[in-house]
Structure 1
Amino acid sequence: MNYFKKILRFAKPYKSFALLNILFNILYSIFNVLSIIIFIPTLGILFGTQEEVAEAPIYNGLGNLQSYLTDSLNYFLTVKVNEEGPVAALVFICITSIIIFFLKNAFRYAAMYVLAYLRTGMVKDIQDKLYFKTLDLPIGYFTETRKGDLLARMTSDVKEVEGSIINSLESLAREPITILIVLISMLAISPQLTLFVFIFLPIAGFLISVVGKRLKAQSLEAQKETGTFLSFLEETLGALKIIKGFNAEERLSSKFTDSTFRFKKLMTAVLQRKGLASPFSEFLGVAVVITVLWYGGSLVLGNESTLTPQEFMGYIGLFYTIINPVKAITTVNYNIKKGNASAERIFEVLDKENTIKDASNALSIDSLESNLKLNNISFKYEDDYVLQDFNLKVNKGHTVALVGQSGSGKSTIANLVTRFYDVNEGEIFIDDVNIKNIKKKSLRNLMGLVTQDSILFNDTVKNNIGLGKESATDEEIIEAAKIANAHNFIMELPKGYDTNIGDGGNKLSGGQKQRLSIARAVLKNPPIMILDEATSALDTESERLVQDALEKMMRNRTSIVIAHRLSTIQNADSIVVLSKGKIVEQGTHDELMKSAKGYKKLVEMQTLS
């Protein structure tokens, strides 16, 4: 129930709707009981057993309220029968019954009407909070978590919480109120018979609860399996060329069907247990009704009871009215157990702590005045250090290129400078201020990022470039595109800057996508530029255009360039050669070529190739 309570926190902004729902449910429950009680005098009139009251009763306080109301009704009916006949009294009761039934259903609809605002609002807020949390969590979290599993939590788990828990709120608000009011009415009619009922209801409730003990555990496993096959599907869609190229369709299909088969087995067990709830509870309910019918009938037939036949029939009607709310509450129990499993998975994300936080006294910085320094930093993703006792200084306006074999730590430096990860040891400074003491938003405002993989959105060219600057004008976007050598090809697109580029920019070539990424960084106009192998995946012609755009962008700007193609960094102010997380050489292109060490060998290998 802990996760159920956590889900209820999302109802707090909508408490006014919850209170209205409770009010309407109370009124519904009152008229629901009245719709049964009103038939007691009807039966008395039809069978000639209605008690006659010749004098108007006197109200003597709440203690005698029940007898006062009963005597008042009997007095009114007695007068009505004596003056106008039994048919007129019957017509009056029928008209009153219609009004009561109308009000009962009107309040029931009103309760559901206001509850809709609560339900949809809670679902929206849960989805929003999950999305905000996804944006807030550090990059490291997503290297350990399958994207498909996260998608499952945001879709199927939220849907399960809505269907199982939020939808149960109506029953939790209405059914206990209905049960309470019906029980009070039953006590008023026959305390002896109601006491007998109290003995059987808890026994039935206990038997019903036994059925759903393992429901939550199986639901949790089923939701986890949903995440597994959604992850598998997401990976498949991103690797269709490789799958087809290696004729791996059957192998991957087998893995997918294994996952869906496990999901089928788990959900079959869950649905079978859930399906057992209604017939099992109905059987127990009927057994209790028949038992009450036997005991109540013996009271009516006995000489010692004051229970009249019409009151007993009304009592049976009331008791049958209480069966459905009791069944609904037991169903709610199943639903909450089932929904709790999904809620647990949702709160695994929401309760995840972001280890990369702003310090309480963090500063805002809007420029680079002197330099960027990495001072004795060490970092590891898991067990082995990727960088150890690493030092680097990048002066304002200079371009520093990082080269080396894969796994030497080049991209890790970019991840640490942008504070996508925090260093394990050492410090990173901007103008002698530790970046941990700079607000993350302020730090990243200082930096532009162009990666090897052009990350674009399923949106227009203009909106993709404009991501780099809020409220950018069309003129600024066009100017950024011109600097990135992108303007000409953009103008050839069907709708120019208003052309939608498709999912991930798949309507564009690799060089075109990369130039849009550069235009986005140019528009941002940051003092520090980080280029992570921005030309490594391009053909020669595209590389020339992109390289020209990069050189324009890096003028008079502090830049860290991670390079795979060494021909693109010959004009850098300093080239740093890395191997296994340590600097083995550092200098200009000419200086390093003269040293005839690692850098020269890398250049010669690329030239030869």
Structure 2
Amino acid sequence: MLFLSILIGMLDGLGLTMFLPLLQMADGSSQVSSEGMGSMGFVVEGIESLGIVLNIRTALLFMFGFFTLKGIIYYASLKFNVRILQFFVSSMRIKLTDLFTRYSFQQFVSSDVGRIQNSMTGEVARVSNAYKNFADSVQNLIMVMVYLSFVFLVDWKFALLVSVGGGLSNLFFSRLFKKTKEQSAELTKNNSKFQGVIIQYIANFKYLKATGFVRTYAHRLKDQIREVEKNNTQIGILHSKITALREPILIGVVCIVILIQVEFLGGQLASIMISLLFFYRALSGLMIFQASYNNYLSVSGSLDNIVKFENELKESAELEGKREIHQFKNHIVADKVDFGYDQADGILKGLSLKIHKNKTIAFVGESGSGKTTLVNLLGGLLRPSNGEVYIDDIPFKELNMHSYQSRIGYITQEPVVFNDTIYNNVTLWAETTEENIQRYEEALNQASLIEFINTLPKEGETLLGNNGINLSGGQKQRISIARELFKDIDILILDEATSALDSETEMEIQTNIDQIKGDYTILIIAHRLSTIKNADKVYMMDKGKIVGQGNFKELVKSSDRFKRMVELQEL
């Protein structure tokens, strides 16, 4: 890019130099002289050394040739810049995707989701603009330097005076550049807040609408919109000032310099005229440089944010062990495990248990007892603060967590449904091979979905809408079950999977789950105790500790607390 910019400036300068012999011939001179061209006389001398007589035709021909060659190289430069920009943006997005893939779930739960979304979408777009404007500013600064070099070769006194005047004027613009950078940083912060507010607005729209709170929350969103608008307006006004003042100030400098050159230094008008041509080019380049640089500063806050975001993702990346697990074979063991999100937060305390393959294990207890935290830990989403978890005798710190988690299915109270077809929701975008279609149909049968799908006009190609808006709660859960069964898993986690369903649908889903009992290791978090009657073992939890265990009947006899829970639910 630097070489091409220098070459473009040189060819443009050589083309403009041909105006000098044209001016001489316009005065009636029969012979072109290199005198009055300063150090640029080498151009005329070089052409004449080739045996070419300079006249109006040859001068115009050379001028056309220089500018044509400049246009070809300028096109090559623009094409190169486009490829570099797109490679830069693509590389940045891929890098952020890879880093976020390795991001620790433990860090994610306390992260600002709005900032994450803003960084990976809006901020990336703004950084691409920052790169483009920075590249443009560098390119134009090089052009300015090339043109000024030509001016120095023609008339160094004129060039020196203009450079000094231009440098002094730039002190004024530097204050505006500083204010633009400050507003850019503020805009980045407010954009992240706006993303967070709008994510919650959309995600909780049903509740806000149903409770009449939607307008109150909308006012909060509007306030954040006005903050973003305020930042953008300030940046726009600063840019307008720079654009409006730049040319008058620089032209004023030129007028003063011409006056000094003619009145006090005895400069020749012809050399001043050609110097002005070069300077006009330099002035245009300088104006574009200042505009591009100011545009770069207006999004520099996004660049700082992306760098900071990348560093946070790197610092919070999960440490992967090297020992892979291709199939869960024997047992999961938690040995004296403590866990807390910080040192003062002891959610799990000295907890130990052993889960055998293909057993159905349930965890019950009051809210906040540590059930979900324990299952998240057993599933590898969290790492113990003290103690260790072993999968087939492999400790977490040595285990390749991705290989382990690929053997896990996860069904939550709010099923994950993608805005895509039924087939893609179940298979997670697997190719439509004969083998995959057979596995897909088997998963639908096991989840009792086949009859429902056959009633749809497009069957498996039916789009489910945003978060499965076109499905009932039971159908969503069956889609989730079918997905996990299609994946060929060993462990199935059910996190209050039926608690949001009506009793009849809950019984149907529970029947589906009971049918696969013994084929998978099933971990159930439950508030409705009717769903765990057939569990092989139930763990009663309280304040991060296991306070009772056994099958359903055994625990009713051995734990008064569990017995009261059963009685309250009239089981």
Report the Cα distance in structure 2 between the residues aligned to 1:191 and 1:71, rounded to whole angstroms.
20
- State the 4+ residue runs in structure 1 displaced beyond 6 angstroms: 74-78, 468-471
1:416 aligns with 2:381: no
Which residue in the other structure is 1:475 paired with? Answer: 438
Of the three residues 24, 31, 40, the one matched with 2:11 is 31
Report the Cα distance in structure 2 between the residues aligned to 1:602 and 1:78, rounded to whole angstroms.
106
Which residue in the other structure is 1:131 paired with? Answer: 97
1:558 aligns with 2:521: yes
Report the Cα distance in structure 1 between the residues aligned to 2:326 and 2:430, rounded to whole angstroms.
15
Q: Is the 8 A contact 2:169 2:250 kept in 1?
A: yes
**What does 1:91-110 align with in structure 2 at a 5 Å threshold?**
91-110=57-76
Report the Cα distance in structure 2 between the residues aligned to 1:554 and 1:347, rounded to whole angstroms.
48
Residues 351, 597 of structure 1: CA spacing in aligned structure 2 closer, same or farther, 3 A cutoff?
same
Report the Cα distance in structure 2 between the residues aligned to 1:32 and 1:452, rounded to whole angstroms.
68
Aligned to 1:44, the other structure's residue is in SS state helix
Of the three residues 296, 302, 306, the one matched with 1:336 is 296
Percent identity for Structure 1 against Structure 2:
28
**What does 1:456-475 align with in structure 2 at a 5 Å threshold?**
456-467=417-428, 473-475=436-438
Which residue in the other structure is 2:119 paired with? Answer: 153
Q: Is the 8 A contact 2:262 2:268 kept in 1?
A: no
Which residue in the other structure is 2:279 paired with? Answer: 319
Residues 468, 95 of structure 1: CA spacing in aligned structure 2 closer, same or farther, 3 A cutoff?
closer
Which has the larger displacement, 235-244 or 92-101?
92-101
Quote how far apart the aligned CAs of 1:72 are. Answer: 4.7
Residues 93, 591 of structure 1: CA spacing in aligned structure 2 closer, same or farther, 3 A cutoff?
same
Which residue in the other structure is 2:416 paired with? Answer: 455
Quote how far apart the aligned CAs of 1:545 are. Answer: 2.0
Which residue in the other structure is 2:310 paired with? Answer: 350
CA deviation map 1:216-264 (0-9, x unaligned): 2221111221221222122111222221222113321221222222222
Q: Is the 8 A contact 1:468 1:521 kept in 2?
A: no
Aligned to 1:586, the other structure's residue is in SS state strand
Residues 73, 368 of structure 1: CA spacing in aligned structure 2 closer, same or farther, 3 A cutoff?
closer
Of the three residues 485, 488, 503, the one matched with 1:540 is 503
Report the Cα distance in structure 1 between the residues aligned to 2:124 and 2:33, rounded to whole angstroms.
60
Residues 362, 545 of structure 1: CA spacing in aligned structure 2 closer, same or farther, 3 A cutoff?
same
Q: Is the 8 A contact 1:165 1:335 kept in 2?
A: no
TM-score (norm 1): 0.87
Report the Cα distance in structure 2 between the residues aligned to 1:152 and 1:143, rounded to whole angstroms.
17
Which residue in the other structure is 2:333 paired with? Answer: 373
Quote how far apart the aligned CAs of 1:372 are. Answer: 0.9
Quote how far apart the aligned CAs of 1:97 are. Answer: 2.9
> What RMSD in Å do the two structures reach over aligned CA positions?
2.5
Of the three residues 186, 201, 214, the one matched with 2:179 is 214
Which residue in the other structure is 1:387 paired with? Answer: 348
Residues 217, 511 of structure 1: CA spacing in aligned structure 2 closer, same or farther, 3 A cutoff?
same
Aligned to 1:349, the other structure's residue is in SS state helix
Amino acid at match of 1:228: K
1:431 aligns with 2:405: no
TM-score (norm 2): 0.92
Count matched residues.
Answer: 564
1:253 aligns with 2:218: yes
Report the Cα distance in structure 2 between the residues aligned to 1:336 and 1:121, rounded to whole angstroms.
19
**What does 1:47-62 align with in structure 2 at a 5 Å threshold?**
47-48=27-28
Report the Cα distance in structure 2 between the residues aligned to 1:380 and 1:186, rounded to whole angstroms.
69
Q: Is the 8 A contact 2:369 2:541 kept in 1?
A: yes
Amino acid at match of 2:346: Y
Amino acid at match of 1:287: G
Aligned to 1:351, the other structure's residue is in SS state helix
Residues 312, 354 of structure 1: CA spacing in aligned structure 2 closer, same or farther, 3 A cutoff?
closer
Aligned to 1:508, the other structure's residue is in SS state coil
Which residue in the other structure is 2:241 paired with? Answer: 276
Aligned to 1:212, the other structure's residue is in SS state helix
Report the Cα distance in structure 2 between the residues aligned to 1:137 and 1:605, rounded to whole angstroms.
42
